[in-house]
Amino acid sequence: MTVKPGWTGRFYEDFEIGDVYRHPLGRTVTEADNIWFSLLTMNTNQMHFNTEYASKSEFGRPLVVSTLTVAIAVGQSVTDITQNAFANLGWDEIRLTHPVFAGDTLFSESIVLDKRESASRPHAGIVTVRTRTLNQNGDEVCSFKRTFYVYKRGAEQVEGIFPEGRTPLTLDQE
């Protein structure tokens, strides 16, 4: 039997300035997501969980918490850009350019802006990307720059993480 490796993410060497990654998974934001995130983060602004209060605003309904929008955008990008990162160094120029409501489906894409080898960590490099998030209509709802440390291919820190089973996986197991 042959072990087929799964997607292991990108390493420093894989990033090229100007590359665009359209992150594969869209995410529909639900009312429950918005309320739970408000509760988890102790956000007491009623625009996010009080329908009556929000109905009197110019939007006429609750807004999705801005930090939930950013969190979804970051999460959507992990598979493509930070699967092998070990530290975020910063988020800059965060812009929330269009309201997000429960029921909106968000999609994100990132472009590589810069990369350089780390002077202090020979096993890693530093990459900067700009990520933007679109709703189902193509309206940009969020954008930001993000800089992170990412391992180089072959770095010992990412080798041998998957454990060997005590017994081999075979076709005849039930």
Q: What is the DSSP string of 37-58?
A: HHHHTT---GGGT-HHHHHTST
pTM over 0.85: yes
Tell me the β-bridge partners of 143.
95, 132
d(CA 114, CA 16): 8
Contact (Cβ atoms closer than 8 angstroms) between residue 37 and residue 68: yes
**Antiparallel, parallel or unpaired: β 124-134 and 105-117:** antiparallel
Q: Tell whether the model's pLDDT for residue 174 goes beyond 70.
A: no
Which burial class, exposed, middle or buried, applies to 123 when counting CB atoms under 10 A from its CB (0-12, 13-18, 19+)?
Answer: middle
Predicted confidence (pLDDT) per residue in 99-155, tens digit: 999 999 999 999 999 999 999 999 999 999 999 999 999 999 999 999 999 999 989
Predicted confidence (pLDDT) per residue in 39-77, tens digit: 999 999 999 999 999 999 999 999 999 999 999 999 999
| Domains within the chain, CATH numbers bracketed | 12-153 (3.10.129.10)
d(CA 35, CA 49): 6
Q: Look at residue 76 in the predicted model and tell me its pLDDT.
A: 97
d(CA 101, CA 19): 30
Instruction: For residue 28, name the pLDDT band (cuts at 50, 70, 90).
Output: very high
